[in-house]
Chains A and B, each alone.
Chain A
Amino acid sequence: MSITTVETWVEPPLRKFVEEARTVLALLLHPSGQVVAQFGFVRAVDVMSACALAAAIHASAGELGKQLEGKAFRGLHHPGRERQLYLAEAATQRGNFIFLTVFDQESSLGLVRLYFDEFCKNLAAAAPAEARRAEPVIEESFEGELNRNLAALFGRG
């Protein structure tokens, strides 16, 4: 099973969820739309679009909830013809994350909800208190590389 994560502490809870709830796709992301972990996607660029849309659904459902209910909706379920989608928020001391999962006949909404609750607990327990300190990541003289990459991207290479 191939799970990719941006921060390693996310992996064990996510792996457990995917195995137990038997879902087809799973995505954990920041409310800004940045991916934290994914399972089931093939291309990285597809992960990014899914995150952008999931963040949008979450944000609009939250706003709609606030306007109609006085508070944000907790979870969202969308039954498709063959696959279903579940989207909800997971809170940790490292901030809130959006979780999106897609499942088929191998699983069910009940199972997904059950294991999602467990996933939230596991994730909160695994979350380290301090964010990794930001350190310089790339060399100061990155401009040449950037220019070459952009030129190639725009067919000017």
Chain B
Amino acid sequence: MSLVNYATREITCKIVYYGPGRSGKTTNLHYIYGQVPDERKGKMVSLATQTDRTLFFDFLPLDLGTISGFTTKFQLYTVPGQVYYQTTRKLVLQGADGVVFVADSQARQLDENIESFQDLHANLAEQGIDARAVPLVIQYNKQDLPRDLVLTPAELNDALNFRGVPEFGADALHGPGVFETLRSISELVLKRLSTPVR
């Protein structure tokens, strides 16, 4: 659940970008970092190997501004996608208020996407989080690649989006879809603060 500080009127939300290795999670954060003015963001922390593969996580704190009189802050995390980083993924997922699943639209990556999506649900369940209740949006990234290499959002929807959550085609390298994805997950996460939790 998002952290609410009634005394200082602050809301802090943790959003995790999840998905298979090389799908573009870190690229999403880099793009966001590049767009946001300095006074509204902290340092982007990347715990990565020398070859730029995410080792533990990337982290980007954002100051979203005021909503209903509350200063609202977002903490964006990415997880390492490679299968052998299972433990790390679980740790980063702890206490997530929302999840962005970044799928790699390349046809040959379909199995990896499905496997990672199942892995997400298993890890949420293990932490006692109801996977169907947690705010989730799906991004079909790398839609800029040649048509014959990638699946369309409709095809990816059939394979992954059985819950019918908001979905966005994207090209995180150049920007299209990155903003829309963040906007959508922000809305879902904040919506939970505007309606009573049972």
Contacts and interface: CB of A to CB of B under 8 A. Distances in A.
Interface of A: 4-8, 30-35, 43-46, 48-49, 52-53, 55-56, 59-60, 63, 132, 134-140, 142-143, 145-150, 152-156
A41 B81 CA distance: 32
B49 to A, nearest CB: 15
A140 B42 contact: no
Contacts, number: 139
A145 B12 contact: no
Given A138-B70, A149-B65, A52 B190 contact: no
Contact size range, B: 35 or more
Interface of B: 1, 3-8, 10-12, 14, 35-37, 40-43, 45, 47, 56-57, 59, 61-68, 70, 72-73, 75, 77, 87, 91, 94-96, 179, 182-183, 186-187, 190, 193-197
Contacts of A48: 12, 42, 59, 61, 73, 75
A61 to B, nearest CB: 11
Contacts of B56: 56, 60
Nearest to B95: A32
Contacts of A152: 65
27 contacts: A6-B4, A6-B10, A31-B94, A31-B95, A32-B14, A43-B42, A44-B63, A45-B41, A45-B63, A48-B12, A48-B59, A48-B73, A52-B75, A55-B91, A56-B91, A60-B56, A135-B196, A136-B194, A137-B4, A138-B11, A138-B190, A139-B68, A149-B72, A150-B183, A153-B37, A154-B35, A155-B37
A34 B14 CA distance: 8
Contact of B195 (A45, A140, A154): A140
Contacts of B43: 45-46, 49
Contacts of A34: 3, 12, 14, 75, 95
B95 A33 contact: yes
Most-contacted residue by chain B among A45, A132, A145 (CB, 10 A): A45
